[in-house]
Structure 1
Amino acid sequence: MFNIKGVSKFFVLLFIIAFLHLITQQDVNAQVTSTNTKQPELAKDAKSAILIEQRTGAILYDKKAHQVLPPASMTKLMTLLLIMEELDKETITLDENIRVSEHAASMGGSQIFLEAGEEMKVEDLLKGIAIASANDASVALAERIAGTEDAFVKKMNLKARELGLENTNFKNPTGLPAAEHKSTAYDMAIIAKELLNYKEITSYTGKYEDYLRKGQENEFWLVNTNKLVKFYDGVDGLKTGYTNEAKYCLTATANKNNMRTIAVVMGAETSKERNQSVSTLLDFAYQNYEAIKLYEKGDKVTDLKILKAKKNNYDVVLKEDIFLIRKKEEKNNSYETKWELSKNIVPPLQKEEKIGMLGIFQDGKKIGEGELIVEQKIEKANLIQLFRTSMHELMLR
């Protein structure tokens, strides 16, 4: 035992003070180390930003993503979505000629200088929007689809409600300044996620340059407003934006390492800061996350027994591959699946018709999902077939 006999109280007190100071200093150092491990801000030059994975919608980074701001020409993501829907329904076709109205030709801002009465194919107008952010082309297609620009805007807002976007309101299909024309980084990401379900859209948004009216006197050179298409590996869209109020905005998408990401920044002061913020977000995604395939398209999930059909059993399969998005350092591969079929399924059913959903859960949280479809066409049975099926069932009992 340490003998303090003969040592003055002064030195004992001094020893205690020194010891306490050492402990306190260690605590301070520990706090500094903890602060240094905090994730750095990835979009410091933007008012708001978000980074998501397209298949699952998983949010990888979020900075004030629900802050309501003017979206400028990123508005055209919704315009493009409605155009792609109409092309898919074949209510318009790529080779259809559209006559440009005086109203469409009068649009200012970014444009391809359409003239009233000029005719241009839907595909060329689509290029004008996707590559050059053309306001006149946006209105021309809006009028073709809905009859008037105002009617098209109603469709835009209806679609926003369908997607659950409570903070978005459109006043035009172009993004030109208007009172109460607003959205958020989160909402823009969701619109982009939906748009990218049309795989062919990136064949337009991913082009750096193209031409309209090729070989004519009024030939027009299209140059993509999204420079990352040329300078960032994997970027193939989607839409830039700028107004004095909105500042510089960009919704970008990249497809690398079997993972498609969507990065949105709003309110950057310069185009350089905007592009740098998006690049930093994309770097973060591909450096820190990976996509793990859990199921493949066509994998069987369950059997479907359906009354009044020609056969007793049909295979229920996945419509698309299902992926899990995780941090690269994570080792937790445990997950569970739950599937649910629609109620009252009755024939006839078309081949690949949706009849349910499969959910992927980890620690009670849904981390992915996929549509369930019937692998083949299911026809309604006639009376003779129903009799045979009933007899077969009785024989098996």
Structure 2
Amino acid sequence: MKKIACAIFILITLTLNIGFETYAATAPPSVSSDNAVLIDGKTGEVLYDKGMNSPFPPASTTKLMTALLTLENCKLEDTFTVSNDFLTKNSKYIDGNRIYIENGEQLKVKDLLYSLLLMSANDSAVALADHISGSVPEFAKLMNKKAKEIGCTSTNFENPNGLYDGKHRSSVKDLALMMKELLKYPDFTKISTTLVYEMSPTNKFNADKTKSTRKFWNEDKLLFKQSSAYYEGVLGSKSGYTVQSFHSFSAAASRNNSTFIVAFHGKTKTFYEDTKTLLNYAFNNFEDKKLFSKGDVVAYYNLNGTKIPLVAADDYYYVIPKGTQYKPQYSIKKGSIKKVSFNKGAELLTLKPKLNNKDLPDLKLISGTNYKLNTIETNNSYNNSLYIILAVFCLILIIGCLFTFFKIKAKRANKNIYY
């Protein structure tokens, strides 16, 4: 009997161990960068962390935020004229890489974005800041506002290009979050992965098309197949370097419907090797799963007798280790919606799904229909209830009166009995 029990115990142990090995992800790799992060590109979930919130001067990776605000506030074909004192009032912001913008020059937003992301032009960043906000200080305020909106916690911007400033700070996690937002704009991926771009002539530069053109070459080695750093599926990247800031870098890649983002900072230029290391780790061990597509009905909610379809406001993804079948859990409490009227598309609820007791990003639900509580029906319902209560009260009163009447009558009858 003991032998049988022992055999059963060993069998169960082996079974559990086999199951554990099947679902256990490979141990995270090591990287050379001083600070590093790997996040899922759709959910923002952190999959690898090495000093991810440590602040540092981000140099030209600052331009990720400048590009984001440009795509958010401008059209690529917009043309504008820089001021006649552009060079004077912005002299301290346009050192280093530049395309030599002149006072009063007419520029296209598209050309400035290409020069910003491909050759990291500092004067292009300042021109965009001027165009959007009127000045560098005002644009810096907009940058910091946007940083907070997207969840950055270690960032403070003082300029649009990353020239060194003692108060100008970010972190690898915050850079990754900026990259995540940029991936929502297909134009960013198109621009960031272009190998060579030729800028249009302007009223100040090559207007007669007789001079050499402004041409920009992409320096991201991840994009060149002949380079040992080449990586398939890269969606975009940005690097930065100054003597005070050291090296910073962020990149994103997509394969098989999964997207991952990395960001690094360090004294040595090892970000290409570290990028391949962390992206390989991500693609080999994790995958994105879609729980709902935008517009899917997540549930029906009974509101005063009316079934309200609760619809996913956006595509909703979660990331899991490859080979697992975990699914998020969530619930909708009764009484969660108290509104008496709303239109189709109105945001009604925010669910907080969990996966193996781990919090996932919020799931926002909107109404799939118009709804207005019928006040007439509500009043009628109230009146009907009141009538019923009054009727019951009257019935009880009548029964009480009859009971009292017959009781008194019985007593009087008894008095007429003689013995």
1:304 shift after superposition = 5.4
1:219 aligned partner: 213
Letter paired with 2:291? L
Letter paired with 1:255? S
Shift in alpha-carbon separation, 1:130–1:390, aligned structure 2, 3 A? farther
TM-score by length of 1: 0.76
1:146 aligns with 2:133: yes
1:374 aligns with 2:367: yes
1:305 shift after superposition = 6.4
1:355 shift after superposition = 3.1
TM-score by length of 2: 0.72
- From 9, 13, 31, the counterpart of 1:43: 31
Partners of 1:73 and 1:343 in 2: how far apart? 46
1:34 aligned partner: none
1:343 shift after superposition = 5.6
Aligned-partner SS, 2:360: strand
1:167 aligned partner: 154
Aligned-partner SS, 1:232: coil
Query: Which stretch of the first structure deviates more once superposed, 385-394 or 334-343?
Result: 385-394
Partners of 1:254 and 1:161 in 2: how far apart? 25
Partners of 1:77 and 1:342 in 2: how far apart? 39
1:346 shift after superposition = 6.0
1:269 aligns with 2:263: no
1:84 aligns with 2:78: no
1:251 aligns with 2:250: yes
Specify every segment of 5 or more residues in structure 1 that has no aligned partner in the other structure, as ranges.
1-36, 88-92
State how many pairs are aligned.
342
Aligned-partner SS, 1:279: helix
1:62 aligned partner: 49
Cα deviation, 1:271-325, whole Å, max 9, x if unaligned, reads xx22111111111111111222333332211235679xxx955422113332331
1:11 aligned partner: none
Partners of 2:133 and 2:381 in 1: how far apart? 54
Shift in alpha-carbon separation, 1:391–1:83, aligned structure 2, 3 A? farther
1:325 aligned partner: 319
Partners of 1:392 and 1:298 in 2: how far apart? 34
- From 296, 300, 303, the counterpart of 1:303: 300
Letter paired with 1:43? V
Aligned-partner SS, 1:337: coil
Partners of 2:283 and 2:237 in 1: how far apart? 18
Letter paired with 1:186? K
2:117 aligned partner: 130
Partners of 2:114 and 2:136 in 1: how far apart? 19
Q: Contact 1:226–1:237 at 8 Å: present in 2 too?
A: no
1:99 aligned partner: 81
| Root mean square deviation, CA, Å | 3.2
Partners of 2:50 and 2:56 in 1: how far apart? 13
Greater Rg by CA = 2
Identity of aligned pairs, percent?
33
1:187 aligns with 2:174: yes
Specify every segment of 5 or more residues in structure 2 that has no aligned partner in the other structure, as ranges.
1-24, 225-229, 385-419
